[in-house]
């Protein structure tokens, strides 16, 4: 069912990579009644504050994109924060959504919910079939609890709560921090800095052979709206591009988009990581959604945004 442009929609986490893309998409569709609160306006870990917000505003739709996120180092250093804060945010928002008769809620997770050695491509039913990757299990356990909570509220109360699990995301508002960014923004920044500083080479860890999947965050936002309008069921839904690219191909494409003319060198003494990680998106494709932004076009768009926001540094 199409979302009315006048509908009250609460986008939790609207300042982040995913939330900001969802807001852009909803504005593009003409939605005029978005409820947006920064962390200083509304602390989602505070149960009474969340309950008051829902009582006052009574949103019709909720998109739960708020989370405490971080890389391996952060997960290892602050495991209590990762499990506690994410469980608090999810519990507060889902319970208040139900209490205040939200029409539909969409919970966003992550591909890290799946077992470390899941079958490739990873189908939705691989969830909870084997141990997780230990380095980010605190975050993953919280996200799995969020999926299960949506399912439990549907089963017990017939509450229309659905979950979407995106693959590796990139795009506008990405994190380009030199120490704790993901592979795609990290490569983009490194090639840009090498170009600006007239370096003759960039050294990248590993052999470049691992295969990864990337989805532009604007495609995810499009899928979020599609699922809100077209999906209402118990099982979570994978959201990915369905296309694999080797880290070597990715690095060469980033090098080309940035315009770095030096050499790309692979340091094969360094670890490669998981050889393959791809989501099985046949369920979403079967529902009628496919991504629209190619990796090249997405990289061009992301580099343009990077130059406008970080290029002067």
For the annotated catalytic residues, the residue numbers are 139
Phi, psi of 101 (to 5 degrees): 55, 45
Q: Of 7, 6, 10, nearest to 19 (Cα)?
A: 10
Q: Write the burial class of residue 289 (CB in 10 Å: 0-12 exposed, 13-18 middle, 19+ buried).
A: buried
> Taking CA 160 as the corner, what is the angle to CA 159 and CA 162, rounded to the nearest 5 degrees?
125
Q: Which two tokens stand for residue 283?
A: 């369920």
First to last CA, the chain: 46
DSSP class of 99:
H
Q: Of 111, 145, 104, nearest to 231 (Cα)?
A: 104
Give the ranges where the chain is alpha helix by DSSP (H).
Answer: 17-28, 47-57, 72-77, 79-99, 137-157, 183-196, 217-230, 247-258, 282-287, 295-309
b/e string for 138-168 if b means 16 or more Cβ within 10 A?
bbbbbbbbbbebbbebbeeeebbbbbbbbbb
Residue with tokens 């940035």: 258
Could you tell me the maximum CA-CA distance found in the chain, to the nearest angstrom? 62
Q: Judge contact between 14 and 62, C-beta under 8 A.
A: no
Q: At what angle do helices 79-99 and 47-57 cross, to 10 degrees?
A: 30
> What residues are paired with 104 via a beta bridge?
61
DSSP class of 122:
B
């Amino acid at each position: 069912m199409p979302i009315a442009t006048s509908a009250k929609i609460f986008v939790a986490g609207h300042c982040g990579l995913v939330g900001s893309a969802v807001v852009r998409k909803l504005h593009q569709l003409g939605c005029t009644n978005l409820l947006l609160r920064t962390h200083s306006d509304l602390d989602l870990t505070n149960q009474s504050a969340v309950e008051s917000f829902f009582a006052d505003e009574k949103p019709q739709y909720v998109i739960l994109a708020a989370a405490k996120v971080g890389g391996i180092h952060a997960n290892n250093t602050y495991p209590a924060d990762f499990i506690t804060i994410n469980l608090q945010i999810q519990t507060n928002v889902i319970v208040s959504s139900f209490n205040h008769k939200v029409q539909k809620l969409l919970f966003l997770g992550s591909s890290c919910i799946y077992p470390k050695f899941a079958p490739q491509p990873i189908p939705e039913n691989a969830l909870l079939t084997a141990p997780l990757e230990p380095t980010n299990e605190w975050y993953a356990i919280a996200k799995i609890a969020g999926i299960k909570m949506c399912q439990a509220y549907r089963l017990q109360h017939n509450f229309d709560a659905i979950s979407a699990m995106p693959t590796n995301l990139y795009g506008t508002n990405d994190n380009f921090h030199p120490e704790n960014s993901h592979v795609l923004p990290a490569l983009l920044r490194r090639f840009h800095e090498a170009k600006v500083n007239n370096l003759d080479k960039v050294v990248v860890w590993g052999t470049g052979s691992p295969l990864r999947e990337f989805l532009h965050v604007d495609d995810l936002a499009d899928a979020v709206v599609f699922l809100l309008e077209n999906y209402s069921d118990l099982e979570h839904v994978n959201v990915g591009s369905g296309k694999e690219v080797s880290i070597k191909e990715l690095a060469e494409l980033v090098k080309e988009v940035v315009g770095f003319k030096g050499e790309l060198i692979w340091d094969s003494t360094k670890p490669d990581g998981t050889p393959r990680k791809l989501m099985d998106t046949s369920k979403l494709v079967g529902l009628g959604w496919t991504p629209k932004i190619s990796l090249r076009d997405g990289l061009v768009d992301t580099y343009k945004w990077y130059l406008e926001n970080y290029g002067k540094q």
